[in-house]
Amino acid sequence: MMKTAVLGAGSWGTALATVLAEGGYAPLLWCRSAAVADEINEKHTTNDYLPGVELPGSLRATTELADLRDRDLILVVTPSKAIAEVAEKLAAVGICPDTVLLACTKGIERDTGRRMSEILQDIFPDNPIAVLSGPNHAEEVARKLPTATTIAASDHEVAERIQAAFTLPWFRSYTTTDVAGVELGGAIKNVFAIAGGIVEGLGLGDNAKAALVTRGLTELTRLGVALGGDAKTFQGLSGVGDLVVTCYSELSRNHRVGRGLGEGKSLEEITAGMGHMVAEGVPNTLSIYEAARRLEVDTPIIDQVHHVLYEGKSPAEALTDLFLREPKPEVDDRCDGAAT
């Protein structure tokens, strides 16, 4: 039985810790806040992040990174902007070179364009690195609702070892060696989740939402392949699966941001009302937009979300500009039937 830990006690980190606990792995959950750690240890709750959820008694919390030294598997679930800082601190206390680090945060670093696994590999060059991503709302996972996810590692045996820890009657995991594709699907879909919320906030209906998801998948695949992912991966759980759930669900923080924008609220007003929660799509839009411009990939929806978030463009104006683009065929017969 592996000794496991989770780095980051937000809603997603805590939900994943409950999965490990239900599987008998008795995880140690690292928290920044002593108050959060005390609540988990004494009351088996974390009401700021997963209200109404009773946590397993085998799940224990700590504020000391040194307590993670002897772990076989460490899930890294900090916000994308903090992952490098926290990982450097973990490296400073020292972990075994055989410890597997599993990146569960969805994002791309703005200044470098590095994916989360690449940040971890740079800091822990000797450790196996893997990724977990899929259509996984923390609130539903914590309540043991049926969920599927994808685990990616360049070494298939590493992925299978992790898969064993994430196989329960209500939680199913699949494996792949396409680390880049799994990460890129999870990061890029955040931008379309904001767009999906905008569609809902503007009251545009189901036809518009279906068009957004379909054209969003085309755009996600085009950019994801340019960044090194396999096109087939974007047809799976970490691509179209995650795209669908975040574009339609009110549990998605990014969707909530977009809905607020569509209703006429400012970004500052929306994020201030989210408390401890982080909508990764807001900072990710910057890094993903810049990556698309750097590679000269056509990303009209991503461009318009960027303009709304960071250039003061109104959602209604962004929609108009999307519809008034030059007409084109849906499939380009000159490119083996690829979507345009």
Binding site for sn-glycerol 3-phosphate, residues? Answer: 106, 134, 189, 242, 252-254
* H/E run at residue 129: strand 129-133
Annotated binding site: 8-13, 32, 49, 106, 134, 138, 189, 242, 252-254, 278, 280
| HSE value, Cβ hemisphere, 13 Å, CA-based, for 272 | 5
d(CA 9, CA 312): 34
Whether 189 is catalytic is yes
Which residue among 189, 232, 313, 328 is the active-site one?
Answer: 189
- C-alpha dihedral (114, 118, 123, 129), degrees to nearest 10: 160
Structure tokens at 248: 């339609």
**97 close to 26: Cβ distance less than 8 angstroms:** no
Amino acid at 145: L
d(CA 180, CA 230): 8
Q: Tell which residue, 109, 108, 121, 128, has the closest CA to residue 229.
A: 108
Using CA atoms, how far residue 108 sits from 36, 116, 186, 234, 242, in Å, is: 27, 7, 10, 17, 16
Annotated binding site for NADPH: 11-12, 32, 49, 106, 138, 253, 278, 280
Annotated binding site for NAD(+): 8-13, 138, 253
Q: Supply the residues annotated as catalytic.
A: 189
